[in-house]
Amino acid sequence: MVEIKTPEQIAKMREAGLVVAAVHAATREAAVPGATTKDLDEVSRKVLAEHGAKSNFLGYGGFPATICTSVNEVVVHGIPDEKTVLKDGDIISIDAGAIVDGWHGDAAYTAFVGTGHAPELIELSRVTEESMWAGLAAMKLGNRLVDISKAIESYIRRQPRPATGKYGIIEDYGGHGIGSEMHMDPHLLNYVTRKRGKGPKLVPGFCLAIEPMVSLGTAQTDVLEDNWTVVTTDGTWSSHWEHSVALTEEGPLVLTSPDGGRAKLAEYGVTAAPDPLA
């Protein structure tokens, strides 16, 4: 069953989403050479406390931190620690979440640590981010879940192949429903498969976390011995972008984007819904 939200509940999710946006801004500034991934978790904890919000990551299935810090070949679910020191040229995907009055926000971004990154890494992050926005723009009344998957995959497949490999759309992980819990039905693939069918119709109150994960090689992953850290099987580096979005009668509202997604959705010819907190 898909949980359909009222406008009042979406407003609460917007509050949580703006806390996630604040965590993103603070951790992005702190993701510099010499910082540990634990340092970034401490930044996240401080922002959550300042906003009176709870972490929806901390304690989830035993996860020990408030954010996931996934460096280079780590796709998702990297655990912050003191041993992982960021170096010039690294890339890091930071996945953050927050709970406000029982309602959840969840979003991720990929950041470049220092300078001197190869053009293919910059393009990898751009392609992953833009595929996310293509998926967000497909969050339209009357569309079905598969239309989002199709938009994400189609965007990636249209891009020129990187010089040293290909774009691998990670197969074992995808987006999800979000609301009174962080992970809810439906599961959202970042590619199309006939086995899954078209999925449910998108109606007002439908909320999703849309999150493509793309590598410079394989679509396959392994989980390390900590039972959390997900890495590419071929060691290629990967990017992860995510936003939470609500569909309203007036269109999509990107809950975890400071402007509600207005500027980026406009590039796709889509008008974002009014911000209930404005």
Rounded to two decimals, the pTM is 0.97
Backbone CA torsion sign across 29, 10, 204, 259: negative
Q: Tell me the per-residue pLDDT of 257-271, one tens digit each, with 9 for 90 and over.
A: 999 999 999 999 999
Backbone CA torsion sign across 82, 84, 87, 89: negative
Q: Tell me the per-residue pLDDT of 11-26, one tens digit each, with 9 for 90 and over.
A: 999 999 999 999 999 9
pLDDT at residue 194, as a whole number: 75
Mean pLDDT of 166-172: 97
More confidently predicted of 194 and 29: 29
pLDDT at residue 185, as a whole number: 97
pLDDT at residue 269, as a whole number: 98
d(CA 48, CA 37) in angstroms, rounded, equals 17
Q: Tell me the per-residue pLDDT of 201-253, one tens digit each, with 9 for 90 and over.
A: 999 999 999 999 999 999 999 999 999 999 999 999 999 999 999 999 999 99
Supply the mean pLDDT for the chain: 97
Does residue 44 sit in helix, strand or coil?
helix
pLDDT at residue 165, as a whole number: 83
CATH fold, domain 7-267, is Creatine Amidinohydrolase (3.90.230)
Number of Cβ atoms within 10 Å of the Cβ of 86: 23
d(CA 276, CA 278) in angstroms, rounded, equals 6
> Cα torsion for 248, 254, 260, 264, to the nearest 10°?
-110
The domain ranges of the chain are: 7-267
- The candidate with the shortest Cα–Cα distance to 241, out of 93, 135, 57, is 93
Per-residue pLDDT at 197 exceeds 80: no
pLDDT > 70: what percent of the chain? 100
Q: Tell me the per-residue pLDDT of 48-104, one tens digit each, with 9 for 90 and over.
A: 999 999 999 999 999 999 999 999 999 999 999 999 999 999 999 999 999 999 999
Q: Tell me the per-residue pLDDT of 105-129, one tens digit each, with 9 for 90 and over.
A: 999 999 999 999 999 999 999 999 9
